[in-house]
Structure 1
Amino acid sequence: MIWLVWTQHRRQFTYTAALVGALAVLLIVTGAVMNSDYHSALAHCGTAGDCGNLGLFQGSGWSALTTTVPLTVGVPILLGVFWGAPLVAGEYEQGTQQFIWTQSIPRRRWLLTKIGWALSAAAVWGSIVAASVTWWSRTENALGHHRFDPFKFDAQGVVPVAYAVFAVALGIAAGAVLRRTLSALGVTVAGFTTLLLVLQSFVRPHYLPTKTANLPLSRLHGGLFSGSWQFGGQLLDPTGQVVGHVVGGNDWNIQQAIPVNCVLNNPDSVRQCLSADGYRMVVHYQPASRYWTFQFIEAGIFLALAAVLVLIAYRAITRRDA
């Protein structure tokens, strides 16, 4: 049975392995050069904080890569479309499953072997892409500390592996239920995209309760929020009344006039002045230390859903007429 699966899908496997390998080589090579550029800049400016303002990615080939590399979040969709959706649906459309089942190979063994190899391949390819992107992104992460941003969070760490397994499982389940490849393709793309957007917008921010910081405005540009996921907050006057809103932890919208002595041209000077007058900020955020916790929580969600989809595919094939 294993040899049969390899014979049926060796071209898909070979082409996918070649593309994933080429992407990994590109990321490793460019990542090494970019990291070298970063350390050269670091040697001239002294600290990583100062280097963040050197425009290392401005006006160079790196700027294009920093825009396109996060798009590897689409790799799981491609795996689900080209591997998961046709895996079972294609068999039904061509009628080849009937021939296999009449060769003393039961449905259960046929299905589990195909699913096992498909999900294992998805996990391997997803791991290679995720590891390559994470390694490549280490320089940008050191400069920007924005790993909670959706396209960065979704393309790095362990979640891309879970995404790949889920997308392939979704394609298999859709193909087993609908028995039409094109229909399974549509369900795979729509289902994966919808679930990811819902988690990004409504679920992910609440994996753990947010923390609240009540600090002087002079701390606004300090290292407290470096790498954190900020949800805004409030600006309080000396009496504790809300007079404005913190925007992203780095700026604010003031809803009433500030003291005359603090009307200055330099924003940093304004912060120092308001802080001296007793103004404070309340910021709601997820600390940077929770990054990997969030990664594993989301990966667990997708893997659990993948297991449910495998069960759906199993029941659809073993309990329905051929």
Structure 2
Amino acid sequence: MHQTVPLSDERLRRRRKLAFVGMAVAMLIFGANFVVSRHAVLNGLSSHDMLALRFVTAGFLLLPSFMMAGGLRDCAGLGWGRGLVLAVMSGFPMSFLLMTGLTYAPAAHGAVIGPGTVTVIGIVGSVVLFGAVLTRQLVLGVAAVLIGLACLGIAGTAYANPGIVFGDLCFLGVGLIWGGYPLLIQLWRVDALKATAVVSVLSMAYLPIYFAFYFRGFDVAPWWVLLAHAINQGVLNVIVGLWIWSWSTPVLGPSVAGRFPPMIPVVGTLLAIPMLGEIPSGLQIGGIAMIIGGLFIASWRRPAR
């Protein structure tokens, strides 16, 4: 009978170091995606082009995994009800709001508003669904995030193009939809990579709509630009980033892994300055700082002994 051999202390330390590096890479991928996608829509590619590149790449790469898990018979073993719900929360609808928001609003807003809202939804959902304790630390963190979101809303209305407000509302929708996704993954005990395959394959249903109404030919950008964005959208963000996150979290433990997501708005905000020249106003800087600070406060927990 096969027995699991415990890992030595040295191997455990190496695994934890690798997990730390992996989580940092995942934060860089997710945070940079806001800037890279914003740059794309400002330089000729539409939000529909980006969505098509995202799902045609991830969908075809994960199609074998989807079919081996059960395929269309029962939606890869999840059941069609659960599969469709997850596809709405993490597939085309959520991605459409994200790409539309990046068409109107700065990348830094997307990198801050989305993760900020996800954190609030995650905390509330953990208390309601899983009986998590609502500590003073969590309340302060959520309050700081909400104040920061209000600052960005006021700044967008008073000092910026009104279109930015629409983009910020799209980012808010992203956070509201995406915030429920990890809660349902945990509630239904669904493997993260299996859920990703379901979401990616089901989202390929958008491709006929794209080619019928929004396809402008393959010469909208050089081939290497299309290839680069296909890799960024479908491979790095949908497959690699999620796999790294899924592997690193149990190695580090939830108390340590929860400290990394607040780095997403930091990466997105800082990269947007040199790459896009997006320098936030004073009130926007204050709102971004409040959200980032709230995320750190809410996610910083003492590791269990």
Output the TM-score relative to the length of structure 1. Answer: 0.25
Q: Which has the higher contact order (CA 8 A, sep 6+)?
A: 2
Which protein is richer in helix relative to its size? 2
Larger radius of gyration between Structure 1 and Structure 2 = 1
Which protein is richer in strand relative to its size? 1
Output the TM-score relative to the length of structure 2. Answer: 0.26
